Amino acid sequence: MRVVTGIDIGGTKCAISFACLDEEKIKFLDKVRMDTEREDFARAVKEFIRVIRLKLNENPKWRLCSIGISCGGPLDAQEGLILSPPNLPKWERADIFTPLKRAFGVPVMIQNDADACALAEWRMGAGKGCQNMIFLTFGTGMGAGLILNGRLYSGTNNLAGEVGHIRLAEEGPVGYGKGGSFEGFCSGGGIADLGRKRAGEALDAGKPPLFCPGREDLPRISAKSIAEAMEQGDALAAEIFDTVGEYLGRGISLLVDILNPERIIIGSIYARQRKTLEKRMLEVVEAEALKVSARVCRILPASLGEQIGDYAAVSVGIKAYEELYSDGVKEMRVI
């Protein structure tokens, strides 16, 4: 049985998934979760190797054919280096390729999490069957993975898709180190930042919102607490999400005009809050984007759910195998 291993590296947790292809669908065989070793990359990669060897020994019929890695950027995908991502600042020029290749002798590939999720949704999710697709993370941060003309587009030095850095307003919540950015308005941290500002103003006016009854509650505001207050009928929380929907529409309008995609797939917060955000977002897209481009673009929530990180890492592994062996998918379907 030909098996792909996917390593999903997060700031607090990692997951190692083992999968094969069954009639063009990923069939997961096993998964191991662990805390991320934030301080010592070498120790982390030794643990990855230990777990993979353990599972291969436990399953002698498995034949490991590739390893895919999904990790937040910045990365050097060509050299296999992790370059101190914000959630793993001590992983400076961490070489993940060399030890894995030495240990297992199979193709290894790494992609940033947005690109990896784009591959997964394109292969098996809401983007399946299209040639031009954008995946927006819309979670802790805002980034994009780009599928253009049926291929993952990474850019000159693997930094294509950093849409969170686009400034949408002169002032606004801070994201990606920039006030008023796409990430500032459309990310978990940005929504919390906007919520703190609006809640402070409401407290000054003697009208505390449900998600912040007093000033001592300001540091505890999160996108989740604002959403919960909105569901309970809090007017300010609803206004905040209306603002988020507006700027989501503005950012998407730029992408529609520049890249003319068939589909834009949005993950995480949008997938959970589609009912709240979609109406305002579509109103803005209709007003701002070129109508002939907007007409051919469907905007959809990600469909792979909470397991998208596992699908993403394994999809990178499949891509690594395909690039080495032109008939890789055909072989991998033999179970």
pLDDT at 177: 87
Are residue 299 and residue 313 in the same domain, yes or no? Answer: no
What pLDDT, on a 0 to 100 scale, did the predictor assign at position 251?
98
Answer yes or no: do 50 and 172 share one domain.
no
Rounded Cα distance, 132 and 18, in Å: 29
If asked whether residues 170 and 250 sit together in one domain, one would say: yes
Compute the distance between CA of residue 166 and CA of residue 107 in angstroms, rounded to an integer: 35
Residues 319, 229 share a domain: no
Residue 76 β-bridge partners: 81
Contact yes or no for 317/332 (Cβ under 8 A) = no
Residues 79 and 143 in one domain: no
Considering the domain architecture, whether residues 78 and 153 belong to the same structural domain is answered as: no
pLDDT score, position 22: 66
CB of 22 closer than 8 Å to CB of 335: yes
Phi-psi domain of 166 (left: phi exceeds 0; alpha: psi -120 through 50; beta: other): beta
DSSP H helices, the chain, are 41-58, 97-104, 113-124, 182-185, 188-204, 223-231, 235-259, 268-288, 291-294, 308-324, 328-332
Q: Do 114 and 137 belong to one domain?
A: no
Please name the residue ranges forming H helices in 109-187. 113-124, 182-185
Q: In terms of domains, do 181 and 296 share one?
A: yes
Residue 325 pLDDT: 66
| pLDDT score, position 23 | 57
pTM: 0.89
- Under-70 pLDDT residues of the chain: 22-24, 325-335
Structure confidence at residue 334 (pLDDT): 34
Query: So what's the pLDDT on residue 24?
Result: 65
Cβ atoms 63, 36 nearer than 8 A:
no
Q: Two tokens at 293? A: 């481009």
Asked if 198 and 171 sit in the same domain, the reply is yes
CA angle (58 as vertex; 56, 64 as ends), nearest 5 = 15
- If one counts the domains in the chain, the total is 2
Q: Which long-range contacts (CB under 8 A, 24 or more apart) does 170-179 make?
A: 172/247, 173/197, 175/141, 175/142, 176/141, 176/142
Residue 19 is encoded by which pair of tokens? 């999968």
Residue 333: the pLDDT is 40
Domain that holds residue 319: 2-120+306-332
Q: What digits encode the pLDDT tens for the residues 99-149?
A: 999 999 999 999 999 999 999 999 999 999 999 999 999 988 899 999 999
193 and 73 within one domain: no
Q: Looking at the structure, do residues 155 and 78 belong to the same domain, yes or no?
A: no
| Residue that has been written with the tokens 């569901």 in this structure | 231
How far is residue 111 CA from its own chain's centroid?
11
Does 245 lie in the same domain as 146?
yes
Q: Which of 318, 319, 304 is nearest to 19 (CA)?
A: 318
> What CATH number is given to the structural domain containing 218?
3.30.420.40
